[in-house]
Structure formats: C-alpha cells, structure tokens
C-alpha cells in the first residue's frame, strides 16, 4: 500500500531521517556547539626520542604500544603506592630502608603493569582508535602490529608482573591478583557508561591498598579506605581533563567519558571532586595520626596546585588539557612528600626519645646501685 507523505517533498524525507538520527545521538547537547567549533590540532606521526629511538626499529611498535615514551601514566599509577607504603612504614615505625626498597619494587611493577594495561586497552580499542585523531596512529590501530603479536606481548608483560607480585607476602599476592578483572574491564566501560573514569580510578589506585598490605600483611581500613577514596576522586579529576582532549572525536565515534557528561559544568564538578580528595586525605591522616608536615604538604600543596590547574586549563585546547593532566603528577608527589616528611620527622623524634629514655634508665641504674663502702 502506498502512503502519501503529506506536507513534505520526497527529497526532504531522507534529510529528516538523518536529522532525527543525529538528534538521537546528542547525549551532551550543551557540549556540541563548543566541541564542533574547536579547530582540530594536527596529530604528529608517533616517533621515539633518544635513547629509545636508538633501539632496533622492530621494537618501536612495542615501545609505543606500552607508552614508554609517555611516563606520566606510570607515575600516576605508582604514586598511590608510595602513599600507602610510607603510611605503613610510619604506622609500623619501620626504618627508612624498608619503604625505599618496597617503593623501588613497586616502581618496577607500575612500569610493567601500566604497559600491560595500555596493551589491553589498545587491543580492545583498535577499531575505535582509528576514529580518533589523537589515537589513530597507535600501533594496533595503524596495523603496525597484529593482534596475535600484541597478545603474545601481553603474555610476557603479565609474566613479568607476576614475577614482581610474587616478591610480596601472600595476602598481597592475592590482593594484587584481585585487580586483574578491573584491568580487563576498564576498556569496555567507555562503550556502556559515561563513567569509565570511575572504573579507571578503582584500577589505578589499587596500589593504595597493595602498598600498605605489602608492609603490614593486612589492611587498616580506617587508613587505607579514605586513602583509596582520595585516589579515586583524584583520578576523576585528571582523567576527565585528559578526556577533554578527544571530546569532539569521541562524540562522532560513540565513545563515552566524564568529559562529555560534565560538559560545560566540568570546572565546578572537578572542583567538587578535588575537595572530596582533600577531605579523604585529611581523614586518612587523622586515622594514621599524622602531624603538621602532612597537612601542610599533602593537603595544602595539592589544594593550591589543583586550584591553579582547574583555573588555567583551556578545555577547548588539546595542548592545555595535556599540560594540566601531566601536572597532576606533582599533585600526587606532594601527597607523598607530606607523608614522608611526617614519617621521617616522627622517626627522628622516636629515636631521640628512645635515646633519652635509655639515658634515664642508665642514670637510675647508677643512682640505685649500692655503695660498697657503706655496705
């Protein structure tokens, strides 16, 4: 049966259909005019700097796959580990050599597992990456590596990660293994929710639990719970800034993120998450009995730096977003510095008090000794 389309010419109906389809995909309407108006930044061909560039050419795709040329992600993964390691050392009154040794071990683990996470991410996203200007030249997206080669390489990375993990105590081994489902799950989240950064926060801050457990053999949830929550809030901040780099491409590719969700409200929302991070850090410090050095460096420093980052970021500039994202390593470093400062000061105070106490005991021993001449 032929249905006459009243009021519109036949040529207008396909255009109307396309308009309807476009409107149905507009999940962040307040963001579209700004994202569409942004002038795309040309994406340079990926290249490695010396000394990485001096390695054999056949290794370059693997080095780029693991983001070896971009250490910011490794530092962001490592920093929550350093927080909890120093907190455990403070609580247990361990000598500084112990947390330093564990920090080195966790640095190796962060390097390996961040690379493994990038490999998993690019394996899942190899087709989506071709639709995003900034990621279209990644090795898997650009067909410089096969999926089989990436899978084999991932097996090697996980084997190395397991080697690092087995240096820890049994509770820590089990706790570390429990994070693997989150590592595998994260790349899928951008397809189903506007909160993939929330899952990344759970994954990237696992070290806030693992570092403490590695030294203490257990978890003091009054301390590590708020610390983990602080790291989660922090991840929402820096990864939302990161996601603003690709928001125009993400809209057309169907990729979801908090950058699209927050849109024009990004600044006040991230200010709220920054405040929540600082509140959680204060709660962790109170539970651990930390002193003024911690609150000055670990709360005061990040508060000022986060305020500056949020105030100066140009949300429509890819370069500005990258710079602000990378500056978050200093936020995490300040938190670590405050914990270490308090830990070292407390250790010095304990040593001094112990020395004074031993001196008093010796004095009492001398004073209480019987005089042979009298007896």
Task: Count CB-CB contacts under 10 A for residue 56.
Answer: 6
Directed axis angle between helix 170-177 and helix 207-216, to 10°?
170
Rounded CA separation 306/326 (Å):
12
Specify whether the CB–CB gap between 317 and 256 falls below 8 A. Answer: no
Q: Which long-range contacts (CB under 8 A, 24 or more apart) does 156-161 make?
A: 157/66, 157/112, 157/113, 157/115, 157/116, 157/119, 158/116, 160/112, 161/109, 161/112, 161/113, 161/116
- Residue 33, phi then psi, degrees to nearest 5: -60, -40
If 0-12 CB within 10 Å is exposed, 13-18 middle and 19+ buried, where does residue 268 land?
exposed
| pLDDT number for residue 46 | 67
Assign domain 56-354 to its CATH architecture. Orthogonal Bundle (1.10)
pLDDT at 314: 97
The pLDDT of residue 48: 80
Q: What is the pLDDT of residue 361?
A: 54
Report d(CA 153, CA 231) in Å as an integer: 29
All structural domains of the chain with their residue ranges? 56-354
Burial of 72 (0-12, 13-18, 19+ CB in 10 A): middle
In tens digits, what is the pLDDT along the chain, a chain of 375 residues? 444 333 444 444 333 344 334 433 344 434 443 433 444 444 455 678 888 888 899 999 999 999 988 999 999 999 999 999 999 999 999 999 999 999 999 999 999 999 999 999 999 999 989 999 889 999 999 999 999 999 999 999 999 999 999 999 999 999 999 999 998 899 899 999 999 999 999 999 999 999 999 999 999 999 999 999 999 999 999 999 999 999 989 988 889 999 999 999 999 999 999 999 999 999 999 999 999 999 999 999 999 999 999 999 999 999 999 999 999 999 999 999 999 999 999 876 555 555 555 545 554 554 444 343 433
Contact 190, 255 (CB under 8 A): yes
Q: What is the pTM of this model?
A: 0.81
Q: Retrieve residue 104's tokens.
A: 């080195």
């Amino acid at each position: 049966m032929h249905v006459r389309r009243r009021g519109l010419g036949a040529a207008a109906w396909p255009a109307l259909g396309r308009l309807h389809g476009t409107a149905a995909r507009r999940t962040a309407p307040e963001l579209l005019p700004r994202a569409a108006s942004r002038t795309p930044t040309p994406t340079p061909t990926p290249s490695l700097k010396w000394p990485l560039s001096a390695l054999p050419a056949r290794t370059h795709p693997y080095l780029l796959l693991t983001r070896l040329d971009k250490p910011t992600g490794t530092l962001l993964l490592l920093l929550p580990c350093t927080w909890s390691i120093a907190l455990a050392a403070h609580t247990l009154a361990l000598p500084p050599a112990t947390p330093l040794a564990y920090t080195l071990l966790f640095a190796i683990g962060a390097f390996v597992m961040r690379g493994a996470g990038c490999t998993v991410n690019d394996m899942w996203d190899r087709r989506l990456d071709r639709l995003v200007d900034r990621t279209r030249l990644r090795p898997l997206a650009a067909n410089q590596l096969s999926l089989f080669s990436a899978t084999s390489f991932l097996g090697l990375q996980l084997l190395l990660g397991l080697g690092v993990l087995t240096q820890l105590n049994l509770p820590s081994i089990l706790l570390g293994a429990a994070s693997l489902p989150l590592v595998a799950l994260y790349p899928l989240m951008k397809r189903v929710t506007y909160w993939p950064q929330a899952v990344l926060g759970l994954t990237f801050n696992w070290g806030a639990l693992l570092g403490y457990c590695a030294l203490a053999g257990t978890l003091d949830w009054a301390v590590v719970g708020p610390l983990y929550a602080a790291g989660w809030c922090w991840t929402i901040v820096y990864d939302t800034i990161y996601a603003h780099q690709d928001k125009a491409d993400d809209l057309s590719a169907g990729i979801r993120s908090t950058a699209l969700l927050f849109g024009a409200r990004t600044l006040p929302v991230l200010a709220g998450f920054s405040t929540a991070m600082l509140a959680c850090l204060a709660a962790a410090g109170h539970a651990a009995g930390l002193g003024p050095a911690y609150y000055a460096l670990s709360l005061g420093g990040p508060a000022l730096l986060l305020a500056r980052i949020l105030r100066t970021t140009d949300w429509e500039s890819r370069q500005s977003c990258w710079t602000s994202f990378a500056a978050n390593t200093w936020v995490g470093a300040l938190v670590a510095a405050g914990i270490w400062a308090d830990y070292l000061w407390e250790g010095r105070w304990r040593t001094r008090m112990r020395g004074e106490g031993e001196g008093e005991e010796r004095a009492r021993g001398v004073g209480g000794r019987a005089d042979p001449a009298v007896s």
